[in-house]
Amino acid sequence: MPDERGRARGCANNSENMTTEHLFLRACLRQAVPRRPVWMMRQAGRYLPEYRATRARAGGFLNLCKTPELACEVTLQPIDLMGVDAAILFSDILVIPEAMGMELQFLEGEGPHFPNPIRNAADVAKLTDPDPEVELRYVMDALRLIRKELNGRVPLIGFTGSPWTLATYMVEGGGSKNFSTIKKMIYADPVSAHKLLERVTESVIAYLTAQVAAGAQAVQIFDTWGGILSTLDFRAFSLNYIKRIVQAVPKVGPDGQRVPVIVFVKGGGQWLEDIADTGCDVMGLDWTTDPTEARRRVGDRVAFQGNMDPCVLYAPPEVIAQRTRAMLTAFGDDPGHIANLGHGILPDIPVEHAKAFIQAAQAEIGG
Ligand code: CP3
């Protein structure tokens, strides 16, 4: 049965001859799979009581990120408890600005805070260029440890924020409702804005290169805030830098396997062709993008990841299963779909509901 399904999904259109047994990596490269892989963005997090217990032991979120044994422990929790088909490094996108010299605080229940945000060219000039094996050594140690502990069970995804998304936090000083401070910078002082994005891009390239060397088997670029820009500004201030990263990240890992690059632009549905043109292997879609329409627009040059509205997980488990099956059908039967949510799982989702999503995605029968 699995073999038949694999054949029904067709052959890889990928030029590389390298093959892998992992469902997730195969789907990223549009190779035939016996069933679709599934994982959830933010799968290691507060909806899991086990995560909350480990975070309490760590004495806070940043300590958890900076203690490789504990970061490893929470990375593995959704593998053991939920049975997902990929692990994602436990960390945060904001460790990059911190490594570039900015003080970072995570205040309980309030999200991230930079007490001294970037506001002008002088602030940009004060940023440093971190060596990932020095300032971000704890991330590399966590990756090495996770690979060892996973022992080949599922592949390990590394990640970064996009330069634009990182810059929004660095300039706003934290989360924002209307992003007026970073938008003021791009319109009133575009030279400093581009300088900042250049510096972050360089750090991100070094960071992802080191993640691949340390064992990340795929990497995801989160552009959570690309969708707040006009088309013109998205291309100039976000896409352009994402493209440079996609082009620069090593395509092959130390084990000789292809390392797929996933680009997730939340709210990026109107720029699908531009995003595919970055050369990424996989595009993350949010729930506002119709899968059939997305495939029609970009053809078969990329795989898709997504895209159920995370709020569907508030529905009863039978409804979650129904909606998950509907999503799989909408993505169709050709290879190159990784089931996921269209954004991170929310902290107040019952564990049983998250399991209903994973199980429905894995129990897929028929096309
Ligand atoms: O997906 C995973 O399980 C891996 C871990 C991961 C975290 N953050 C852990 C985290 C990943 C991939 C991220 C990415 C991230 N971080 C993004 C991009 C993806 C997205 O969700 O849009 C962004 C914008 C951030 C920045 C960030 N970190 C914010 C805005 C917040 C506060 C809001 C919130 O969700 O709490 C965080 C904190 C954070 N990052 C938590 C976790 C588990 C919660 C902190 C806690 O446990 O108290």
Is CATH 3.10.20.600 what the domain over 9-363 is classified as, yes or no? Answer: no
pLDDT, tens digit (0-9, with 9 covering 90-100), for 163-188 = 999 999 999 999 999 999 999 999 99
Per-residue pLDDT at 115: 98
pLDDT of residue 365: 59
| CA–CA dist 320, 326 (Å, integer) | 10
Q: For residue 69, how many other CB atoms are within 10 A of its CB?
A: 12
Q: How much distance in Å is there from the Cα of 277 to the middle of ligand 1?
A: 27
Q: How close is the Cα of 264 to the center of ligand 1, in Å?
A: 14
Give the contacts of 352 (CB within 8 A, at least 6 positions apart): 317
Query: What pLDDT, on the 0 to 100 scale, is given for residue 19?
Result: 64
Can you tell me whether residue 265 is helix, strand or coil?
Answer: strand
Nearest CA to ligand 1 atom 11: 92
Residues with CB under 6 A from ligand 1: 41-46, 55, 61, 88, 90, 92-94, 111-112, 159, 161, 175, 222, 224, 344
* pTM for the full predicted model: 0.94
**Radius of gyration of the chain, Cα coordinates, nearest whole angstrom:** 20
How far apart CA 43 and CA 41 sit, in angstroms, is 5
Which is the closest atom of ligand 1 to the Cα of 52?
A: 47
Looking at residue 105, its amino acid is Q
**Residue 169 annotated to the active site:** yes
Q: Tell me if 36 sits within 8 A of 335, measured CB to CB.
A: no
| Half-sphere CA count of 11, side-chain side, radius 13 A | 4
Q: Which residues of the chain have pLDDT under 50?
A: 1-17, 366-367
The pLDDT assigned to 18 comes to 55
Quote the pLDDT of residue 4.
Answer: 34
What is the atom index within ligand 1 of the atom nearest the CA of 89?
4
For the chain, strand residue ranges (E) read 87-88, 105-107, 111-113, 156-161, 218-223, 261-265, 282-284, 303-308, 337-341
Our answer to whether residue 244 is catalytic in this structure is no
3-state secondary structure of 272: helix
Query: Tell me, what's the pLDDT at 148?
Result: 98
∠ at Cα 208 (107, 115), nearest 5°?
25
Ligand 1 center to residue 49 CA distance, Å?
Answer: 17
